[in-house]
Structure 1
Amino acid sequence: MKNTSGNYQIDSLDRSILNTLINDARTAYSEIAKKLRVSPATIHVRVEKMRKAGIIASTELKVNAKQLGYDVCCFIGITLRHAGDYPKAIAKLEALEEVIEAYYTTGPYNVFIKIMTPSINDLQHVLINRIQSIDEVQSTETLISLQQPIQRQIQP
């Protein structure tokens, strides 16, 4: 299987390395090497090749938002006044710390965002005073998430 740039083919060893790191990015190369019966240097070389090829985009720390007091997760579909308003609207949405993801979409919305707030009152404030007050926003539709039963990475 090739990555999008087409210059690096991943094999079963690469897939095993990726799956291990997806499960726990802090896993030591020596531990991965022992599990896969190769040298730690092999793991290091493979990981670096996958980084350079863009297959491994980053190593991230995952924070439990609920433990930090962010109890409300919602998705907001945004319709813009004009198609040309997209760059300005995205810049303004990016400035809002509650917006944690944004997508340019087809269908009924121009932009679909995910936000996290501590409470429904905070959601109401962000929605009315910070999102709907953006000049480029014509309308919004809010969907509150009750739970997230599935959360996973793409499988290599």
Structure 2
Amino acid sequence: MGSEYEIDSLDKRIISELQSDARKPFLDMARKCLVSGGTIHQRVEKLRENGVIKGSSISVNHKKLGYGVEVLLGIHLVNAKVVSKVIKKLEKFPEVVQALYTTGNYALFIKVITKDIDGYHDFLVKKLQAIEEIRSTESFICLETPINRELKLD
């Protein structure tokens, strides 16, 4: 973000409003924030230009669409130099919805969503474990996601 633009309390309020509903009309936010719609529009554009806001999204209930298995996988690599190469390969798999480059026991953690356990097994054996740069993996099947939220700003 540019050094000339600093986030203030109005920006934080706008971000909070958008986090609760990314489709919320600017005029509704303006009324809540006690400013004009034009002010909200300008602030949102400034936040986008400075990379604070990246796009907008909806939250999908994957289980309702028939994707009932969610797995977190810890990945050990053959060495740290291959992480970029592995990430490029992981990007090609639609089952991989998130990848985290981490410190600690695993070089990478990925989140995988499949329709069922057989689909997960196929992904694991035929795709993930076929990547030569991966030394080993450990799977953690998610039973429930009791907390799933955006970071609330101070």
- Of 134, 138, 141 in structure 2, the residue corresponding to residue 144 of structure 1 is 141
The 8 Å contact of residues 75 and 143 in structure 1, kept in 2 or not, is answered as yes
Which deviates the most, 82-91 or 145-154?
A: 82-91
What's the % identity of the aligned pairs? 43
Q: Distance in 1 between matches of 2:17 and 2:138?
A: 38
TM-score (norm 1): 0.92
The 8 Å contact of residues 79 and 137 in structure 1, kept in 2 or not, is answered as yes
Gaps of 5+ in 1: none
CA deviation vs aligned residue, 1:22-64 (integer Å, no higher than 9, x gap): 0001000011111222110011011111111211122123222
* AA matched with 2:7: I
Q: Distance in 1 between matches of 2:120 and 2:4?
A: 45
Q: Distance in 2 between matches of 1:24 and 1:78?
A: 34
Counterpart for residue 98 of structure 1: 95
Q: Distance in 2 between matches of 1:119 and 1:149?
A: 21
What is the CA-CA distance between 1:84 and the residue it aligns to? 2.1
The 8 Å contact of residues 77 and 113 in structure 1, kept in 2 or not, is answered as yes
Gaps of 5+ in 2: none
Q: Distance in 2 between matches of 1:83 and 1:11?
A: 39
What is the CA-CA distance between 1:85 and the residue it aligns to? 2.0
Q: Distance in 1 between matches of 2:3 and 2:77?
A: 36
What is the CA-CA distance between 1:5 and the residue it aligns to? 4.5
State the Cα RMSD in Å.
1.3
* AA matched with 2:109: F
Counterpart for residue 72 of structure 1: 69
- Of 17, 22, 25 in structure 2, the residue corresponding to residue 20 of structure 1 is 17
- Of 113, 119, 122 in structure 2, the residue corresponding to residue 116 of structure 1 is 113
- Of 11, 18, 28 in structure 2, the residue corresponding to residue 31 of structure 1 is 28
Instruction: Report the secondary structure of 1:77's partner residue.
Output: strand
